[in-house]
Amino acid sequence: MKKKRNEYIAQFYRGNRGAFFLAVLTALLATGLHLIIARALQQMIDGISGVPGAPGLAGMAGWIGAVLVLILLVKALEYHSQPRFIQKAMQQYKEYAFRKLTEKSLASFDEEASARYLAAFSHDAETIETGYLEGQFHLLTSAADFIGALVMMLLYSPAMTGISCAFFILPAGVSLLMGKRIQQSERRVSQKNETFTATLKDSLGGFSVMKSFRAEGPIQALFAGSNRAMEQAKCRKRRQVIALGTLASLAGVLAQLGTFWAGAWLAFSGAGITPGVLIIFINLAAYVIEPLQVIPERLAALRAAEGLIDKLADALEEPERQPGAPLPDTLRQGIELRNVSFAYKGETRPALAGISARFAAGGCYAVVGGSGSGKSTLLGLLTASRRDYSGEILYDGQELKTASIESLYDLVGLIQQDVFLFDASIRDNITLFRDFPPEQVEQAIRQAGLAPLIAARGTAYRCGENGRGLSGGEQQRVAIARSLLKRSQVLLVDEATAALDPATARQVTLSILELAGITRILVTHRLDETLLRRCDGILALKDGRLAESGTFDQLMNAKGYFYSLFTVAQ
Ligand code: ADP
Ligand code: MG
């Protein structure tokens, strides 16, 4: 746990030590400033009271000048150190976390938890900024104030320091008592914020669903609920801060006035306490009392920030992965399934049972079957999104379970019904912002059947948010071009054309069927004779079992399950 967190904390300080040490120096000089102001006041008051040896008017002016210079110095140092340190620290921290996030494997990325990631990069990051990065310098100043003021008080009068300390016990107790509570409240606010972000994200993601079902009312109520819960949690925290503040100032005033009273008593009993010393004790007492209240609070904030870092580190942790043997660059024989069975976690009925099949390299295959027959599950196993299957899945004779995921992704391209498009140019959506030789891009565009669109709109045409600027068929073609450009040797297509009109669907499928040299497996529930005839093989799934397989003619002649599927569809 701690080790993981340290990797993230290291990001704050990477290449940032200079600014950090300068900020530390600033924090310590701030204490110096506090003490010098106290001392200046003492000298001036003693001067006014005519205490022998105290400075005259010129000396007082000197003190004022010294204080002004020091203030300017501390602030100038702060200006040049803290903001820069925090900027670089936060930048590096978020970039590191985001890199970890993008490096997560598909299998371990939890789509449901994406609200947690959103919170981590927004609200939590802010808490870390104030609680940890700024907090550490405040903490340092407070600690230095406490020690410095105590030492200075001892130098002035040990007796009075002793009496003052007796009064400090009160505020210290109060802050210890309340600090824990505030920490709990802070954690509750973070939780509520997570729920709130999740609600907001769902509402935005499901906007069209909400509109078409006219569910604005219930969604508003949902939003109001989590919004209220979050604001209530924040209100509770604010109240606790005020309550703590009240108790703390009461205790603080009592301690200060107590010190004053004790000082007056010592002065009357002739212990050499001048008015200036009395004043400096009041001042210094504040620097001893405040840290007693503030340090536990700041430590709690620091710990809360560390908790948030831990939370993010946990979410981004990748289960130990074996590197795996790389799959060959080019698929020569093909893919083979030997008696593959698979059940989803917690399900008793297998989604796939005893599947054996062969997909020759460069061939084109169709997988058909009713809804829920296991077609998508089959493609999922071929892309190693689940590895807890029994039996064997062999790419050129190499078992997928022991293969490296990266080499599989190099080999295989998956095209699904939902195409994700960035709000960027068609070109960037095809290349996914990587560099390719122009002739390769052009070839991919041609093969995917995108040439007419590009001719009309140009490669710089923006696809719009979620690809709104393109039709469904064009989006699918962009997805195909992407996979082709990536030089995928295997193209797995899961109902990619299901949402398209029959004519467009047929054209897109034809483009796929015409791709020579690429092993293609098309999951489809559209039983189009001309297209199916062009496939080298058809697999008909039924309730997770391979009911039949063969060419179109073979299956039609067999008059079995595929035959009945096909005739019903016509
Ligand atoms: P198809 O793509 O042929 O419609 P699927 O492969 O998606 O079918 O689903 C096969 C079976 O597995 C179905 O009974 C479905 O309910 C079940 N299933 C699919 N995905 C999951 C999942 N993530 N968890 C549990 N069961 C699932
Ligand atoms: Mg499916």
Q: HEC string of 4-62?
A: HHHHHHHHHHCCCHHHHHHHHHHHHHHHHHHHHHHHHHHHHHHHHCCCCCCCCHHHHHH
pTM value surpassing 0.75: no
Those residues with Cβ within 8 angstroms of residue 254's Cβ, 6 or more apart along the chain or in another chain? 167, 170
CATH code for the part of the protein at 334-569: 3.40.50.300
Q: 494: CA distance to ligand 2 center in Å?
A: 7
Which stretches of the chain drop beneath a pLDDT of 70?
1-2, 110-112, 171, 320-322
**Cα atoms in the 13 Å half-sphere on the side-chain side of 532:** 23
Q: In whole angstroms, what is the distance from residue 334 CA to residue 341 CA?
A: 20
pLDDT given at position 1: 58
Contact 351 CB / ligand 1 (< 6 Å) = yes
CB 414 within 8 A of CB 378: no
**Cα atoms in the 13 Å half-sphere on the side-chain side of 45:** 16
Q: Residue 301 corresponds to which amino acid?
A: A
Superfamily of domain 2-104+115-316 in the CATH hierarchy: ABC transporter type 1, transmembrane domain (1.20.1560.10)
What Cα–Cα distance (Å) separates residue 39 from each residue in 29, 265, 270?
A: 15, 22, 22
Q: What is the Cα gyration radius of the chain?
A: 35
* Spans of all domains in the chain: 2-104+115-316, 334-569
Contact 416 CB / ligand 1 (< 6 Å) = no
pLDDT given at position 437: 93
Q: In whole angstroms, what is the distance from residue 368 CA to residue 378 CA?
A: 11
Q: Residue 355 corresponds to which amino acid?
A: I
CB 430 within 8 A of CB 485: yes
Identify the three-state secondary structure at position 367.
strand
Q: 565: CA distance to ligand 1 center in Å?
A: 20
Contact 377 CB / ligand 1 (< 6 Å) = yes
Q: In whole angstroms, what is the distance from residue 269 CA to residue 263 CA?
A: 10
CB 308 within 8 A of CB 121: no
For atom 5 of ligand 1, which residue has the closest CA? 374
Q: In whole angstroms, what is the distance from residue 566 CA to residue 538 CA?
A: 12
State which ligand 1 atom lies nearest to the alpha carbon of 371. Answer: 4
State which ligand 1 atom lies nearest to the alpha carbon of 495. Answer: 2
Strands 352-360 and 334-342: antiparallel
For atom 16 of ligand 1, which residue has the closest CA? 372
DSSP category for residue 126 = H
CB 330 within 8 A of CB 489: yes
Q: In whole angstroms, what is the distance from residue 193 CA to residue 157 CA?
A: 51
**Which of 394, 397, 381 minimizes the C-alpha distance to 492?**
381
